[in-house]
Structure 1
Amino acid sequence: MDPVKALKQVAFHLERAGEPTYRVQAFRNAAAVLADLDPAEVEKRAKLGTLTDLKGVGKSTAGVVQDALANREPSYLAKLRHVDITGGEELRAELKGDCHVHSDWSDGGSPIKDMAEAARDLGHEFMVLTDHSPRLTVANGLSRDRLEKQLEVVAELNVELAPFLILTGIEVDILDDGSLDQDDDLLERLDVVVASVHSKLKMPRADMTKRMINAVRNPHVDILGHCTGRLVVGKGRPESQFDAERVFEACAEHGSAVEINSRPERLDPPRRLLSLAVDAGCTFSIDSDAHAPGQLDWLNYGCARAEECGITPDQVINTRSASQLLSG
């Protein structure tokens, strides 16, 4: 086993397990250090026991390298593989891509290429890059100029990574009146637009209902992101209050899919609202909302909840190929 690849796999599985960023970064940093060395030097240092003399390589990362060079699965990696995400396997197997992914252009932790390669290695045919819009300054949201530059980068990467495809997109803020936080002409150029509420989550029910309906009526909106805004871990955050039946009816009428957000701290919307969306005739997008490569493998969480609510593959837009998604 290649030691650099082994270190990256450990980092991936740590992210998948929701481990702290500093721990993940330790393995990514070690991988970067070794990638710059001649493989013969790495082997020599492993034999002499001097790997930890390298800045960025500690006892745990050196142990992974030793195991990899001995052609055995690193024990550190073996333990992480036992952290299984169960449920939703049949629907997960039908997904061809992920429609909500962040990079280090906004508040993600990894470059676009790293996210794309991880998605490809998971068996995806495509991913939609959906970094934040400018109003969300805390997430380093993209101005018009930065988003236009990102489109150029994506075009270059698509040549390099073909046949894997990065679809252009944005997670655009739904403003207080339901308008969107980016210019219409730029939104029109994007492949997929995810619209989400990130501010004034305690807005009165009637006002929030109107706000969300105005957003999903916008012809540029393809997906309504994490609709309740809830958080279910730590101190948590309560659901935003809105007339779910009216909002989901508007989604169905205007062709905006309801996102099933797979992040463990969100799991949004809750099952009772998912059932209402099914009854309203909505389509769905099961997304990871990944901010790091390992989080791309959280889709089973969303798939399990979708299956529990009777959602079938034909109701999920990312079971379609990229060409079908764009033409639909």
Structure 2
Amino acid sequence: MRLLVPLVAPVDPVDALTRIAWLLEHDRQSTYRVEAFRRAAQAVADTDPGELRRCADMGTLTAIERIGKSTAAVIAEAVAGDLPGYLAHLQEEESSSVPADDSGLFTALRGDLHAHTDWSDGGAPLDEMAAAATALGHEWLAITDHSPRLTVANGLSVERLDRQITEIAALNARSDDDGFRVLAGIEVDILDDGTLDQTDAMLDRLDVVTASVHSKLRMDPGSMTRRMVAAVSDPRVNVLGHCTGRRVLGGRRRPPSEFDAREVFAACAAHGTAVEINSRPERVDPPDDLIELARDLGCLFAIDSDAHAPGQLGFKGLGARRAEEFGIEADRIVTTWPLDDVLAWASA
């Protein structure tokens, strides 16, 4: 994995607007601001190139629906063959803010086992998530949208998951030549009794399953332990997502769930289930002491972004730094493995 390679002039206006959206997402800017650039990119794609140039020359780009003053300035500069100034500024900010990521485990990462699209509560379609992953040097990316019970996140029913699997297969068929692969997956809810919130038949069709607790996070420790052990012991579960459920930043701060971490991680180690190092800045989950415990018990790990937008795939720099800090070797981190090894592990 690498940092985004900066765009240089000349740049297609759709590419310029899309890259700005990604950089704003990585910087955790408002969804409204990000969507303005994404809508403008779609408007440009829908406009005849000759008409776009005519509007740019006449200064009437804002007459095109979904193009505002700020996005029009970016388009006009790109059409003129220049690197848009706003894009140049964001690229300079990004390159200076994450110098430590471009080394060590960060560059060893090949993929991501936890990412969302607009099929559930993500902000972008499958193809844009795949494009961003490719730009970051990923070799593969698992799409793990939510399961049915999480209605607040538009979780996927059996019928919708079936359609998504078909769409992922079609996307892979169109990109066979570049070697990049999208994996069909799910972030399945761990139900109160440790069972999984999707049918056995659908889970068996998936390349990878990440399982997470999203409800009753304050369950008593004994019940929560039994719940999590049952889930990570299920042969179809490959990754235990954000194990404590805590949030340490923002207005939705939340304490960690209480459970017997030694028992849960011992079950993970026994069943080959990876413990996720969730890289979202508001989660930083597991806490430091639990990463050390999982390391000492022999667990595998997955450094994941939990991205809900293309620009958030780069969050994995935080997870990589944490794994390095606790001396976790790359061969114990499944997201550094080549695709064939990941698929063999996930299906074992």
TM-score (norm 2): 0.91
Which of 81, 99, 104 is 2:118 aligned to? 104
Residues 85-104 of structure 1: pairs in structure 2 closer than 5 A: 85-88=98-101, 89-104=103-118
Gaps of 5+ in 2: 1-10
Provide the C-alpha distance between the structure 2 equivalents of 1:75 and 1:284, rounded to a whole number of angstroms.
40
1:308 is matched with: 325
1:143 aligns with 2:153: no
Q: Which amino acid aligns with 2:337?
A: R
1:323 aligns with 2:319: no
Provide the C-alpha distance between the structure 2 equivalents of 1:251 and 1:200, rounded to a whole number of angstroms.
21
Q: Is the 8 A contact 1:87 1:303 kept in 2?
A: no
Provide the C-alpha distance between the structure 1 equivalents of 2:76 and 2:327, rounded to a whole number of angstroms.
47
CA displacement, residues 274-318 of structure 1 (integer Å, 9 cap, x when unaligned): 111111111111111111111111111111111111112111001
Q: CA deviation at 1:86?
A: 4.4
Q: Which amino acid aligns with 1:16?
A: H
SS at match of 1:246: helix
Provide the C-alpha distance between the structure 2 equivalents of 1:23 and 1:57, rounded to a whole number of angstroms.
13
SS at match of 2:263: helix
SS at match of 2:47: coil
Provide the C-alpha distance between the structure 2 equivalents of 1:282 and 1:223, rounded to a whole number of angstroms.
11
Q: Which amino acid aligns with 1:15?
A: E
Provide the C-alpha distance between the structure 2 equivalents of 1:41 and 1:152, rounded to a whole number of angstroms.
36
Residues 34-183 of structure 1: pairs in structure 2 closer than 5 A: 34-81=44-91, 82-83=93-94, 84-88=97-101, 89-162=103-176, 163-183=179-199
Q: CA deviation at 1:200?
A: 0.3
More divergent stretch after superposition (210-219 vs 182-191): 182-191
1:291 is matched with: 308
Q: CA deviation at 1:15?
A: 0.7
More divergent stretch after superposition (318-327 vs 73-82): 73-82
Provide the C-alpha distance between the structure 2 equivalents of 1:297 and 1:166, rounded to a whole number of angstroms.
17
1:189 aligns with 2:202: no
Q: Which amino acid aligns with 1:85?
A: V
Q: Is the 8 A contact 1:202 1:240 kept in 2?
A: yes
SS at match of 2:65: coil
More divergent stretch after superposition (66-75 vs 20-29): 66-75
SS at match of 1:209: helix
Which of 222, 227, 240 is 1:206 aligned to? 222
Provide the C-alpha distance between the structure 2 equivalents of 1:212 and 1:102, rounded to a whole number of angstroms.
22
Q: CA deviation at 1:205?
A: 1.2
Gaps of 5+ in 1: none
Q: CA deviation at 1:47?
A: 2.0
SS at match of 1:120: helix
CA displacement, residues 101-124 of structure 1 (integer Å, 9 cap, x when unaligned): 111111112111111121112111
Q: CA deviation at 1:62?
A: 1.4
Q: CA deviation at 1:72?
A: 3.1
Provide the C-alpha distance between the structure 1 equivalents of 2:209 and 2:149, rounded to a whole number of angstroms.
16
1:261 aligns with 2:278: yes
Provide the C-alpha distance between the structure 1 equivalents of 2:161 and 2:76, rounded to a whole number of angstroms.
43
Q: Is the 8 A contact 1:14 1:24 kept in 2?
A: yes
2:8 is matched with: none
Provide the C-alpha distance between the structure 1 equivalents of 2:222 and 2:85, rounded to a whole number of angstroms.
54
% identity of equivalent residues: 55
More divergent stretch after superposition (149-158 vs 224-233): 149-158
More divergent stretch after superposition (253-262 vs 148-157): 148-157
SS at match of 2:112: strand
2:24 is matched with: 14
Provide the C-alpha distance between the structure 1 equivalents of 2:299 and 2:225, rounded to a whole number of angstroms.
17
Q: CA deviation at 1:246?
A: 1.5
What is the aligned length?
328
Structure 1 stretches (4+) deviating beyond 4 angstroms?
none
CA displacement, residues 109-168 of structure 1 (integer Å, 9 cap, x when unaligned): 211111112111211111111111111111111111221222111111110122221111
TM-score (norm 1): 0.96
1:224 is matched with: 240
Provide the C-alpha distance between the structure 2 equivalents of 1:124 and 1:138, rounded to a whole number of angstroms.
30
Q: CA deviation at 1:52?
A: 1.8
Q: Which amino acid aligns with 2:140?
A: F
2:289 is matched with: 272
Provide the C-alpha distance between the structure 1 equivalents of 2:132 and 2:104, rounded to a whole number of angstroms.
21
Provide the C-alpha distance between the structure 2 equivalents of 1:206 and 1:149, rounded to a whole number of angstroms.
38
Q: Which amino acid aligns with 1:63?
A: A
Q: CA deviation at 1:41?
A: 2.4
